[in-house]
Structures are given as C-alpha cells and as structure tokens.
Amino acid sequence: MQFCCMNLIIDQGNTATKAALFEGGILKTKVIYAKKDIHRLEDWIAQNCQSDTNILWSSVTNQPIKINSKKILCLTSTTPLPIENEYETPETLGKDRIANAVAIWSKTKKNSALCIDMGTCIKYDLVVENAYKGGDISPGMVMRYKALNVFTDQLPEIMPNQAIFENNFPEYGISTATSIINGVQQAIVHEVNGFVARYQERFGPLTIFMSGGDAKFFDKAFKKGIFAFSVKYWEDLTLCGLNEILEYNVKS
C-alpha cells in the first residue's frame, strides 16, 4: 500500500493566516488565526507538521513564522508553476491571484476558465488552455459602501445586507438606504455580467468559479439567474491552488 505524504499550506495575509493540511490532493483540515495570534499558529504547525511534511508558505507580510522544517517552498514570482504565466509584471501579481488561476486550471485542465474572487477587491483571473492571461481588479463591496460615506458629506455608511438584497429587492431605491444598497450590490451584478460577456466574446465559453467572503451576498442572484452564466462556488480555491503549486514543485 502506498501512503501519501502530507502537504502543509500556509497562506499568510495582512490580517489573518490560513493553514491547511492536504493529503492526496484532498483538504483534510483548515485553521485560521488572526495576525496577533502568531504564536498559536506556530503551535498548531508544530503539532501538525511531521518530518516528511511538504510545506508551501505564501505570505504578503514581513511577519516571520517559526517552522521547524527544511522542506519549505516559499512562493515567489519565480516559483515554477504548472501553467504558463503571461502576466507582463509577474513580480507584482498577487499570490492569491496566481493560486486561484492554478486552482481553476486544475479543475478544468485544457478548458478555459475564469475565477471571480469577491473579497476586499473583486478580482477576475483568466486561464485559457494552459496559460494564465491576466484579468481585472475592481473595488470590493465594502470598499464601495465606505467610499460613498467617506467622499460625501451626507451619505451614511451602510454595511452590506444579505437579507434585504435576497428578499425581492426593488429595481430602484425608494429611500437613501435602499438606493445605496441597490446601487452598490446591483452594480456589482452588472459589472460581473459585463466582464464575463467581454471575456467570453474574446476567448469563447468559460467555466466560471467564484470565491471570496462576499460571494454569499449574491447567492440568490445565482439561483434566480440574475447572473447570465452558471457559477461554481469554491470556498477554499486559493488554498487548493497553492497545494497544486506545491505538488508540481515536489514532483519536478
């Protein structure tokens, strides 16, 4: 019987770090620690990292993590990838974006695919056959709500509201609050539809993947067909893409 070696993925962001264990390409467990809880993260890694564990560390911060292992791959712009990277400035490409691209490529292989990551920013990343083409970045939902308040004297700050948006929201606002909610969230629907239409006109049919914390606000939009395409939601898309990159380097 052949046993699979465990992979440890560490995705270190500006506010929190995700750590995940994979075995045979399957996500077994995942934890999330706030930036201030670095010692708890290090303890979890020490308890779950064996001597033969392959590790990939992807970080956008300068905060060090103590890891007692020599089998660590630090993701950089020069790390070998299983797909061709056609981005003109790979040194500026977000590690989550290239990980997302590798993840959707791993699911579709030679089919063209698009990842829409709805987080702080909305990021669109295209993979056509075996190449990462690039994509687009626009302000995320919370950023849009905050901007309306910060850059005006009268408009209130409104937080995203999933319940209101899901319950037969009017086609136009009937109060300042509903005008803002409808304007922000319907604008995102129209933006996403527009980008997808433009991409598909250029590259042909695309398999669409969506991830990110704000995707939940548009669940009913998926189900009601407000989006002009079908969506595959993938919560752990970035982690799975990082694991694919690690597997590729381990086997190379």
* SS3 call for 51: coil
Burial of residue 238 (number of CB atoms within 10 Å: 0-12, 13-18, 19+): buried
> 11, 96, 117, 125: which one is catalytic?
96
96 counts as catalytic: yes
Can you tell me the distance from the alpha carbon of 238 to that of 67, in angstroms, rounded to the nearest whole number?
21
In the DSSP assignment, the letter for residue 159 is -
Given a contact cutoff of 8 angstroms between Cβ atoms, the answer to whether 69 and 45 are in contact is no
Nearest Cα to 113, choosing from 200, 243, 235?
200
Question: Which positions ≥6 away from 76 have C-beta within 8 Å?
Answer: none
Determine the angle formed by the axes of helices 95-108 and 237-251, rounding to 10 degrees: 80
CB atoms near residue 46 (< 10 Å) = 12
Nearest Cα to 72, choosing from 246, 197, 192?
246
Residues classed as catalytic = 96
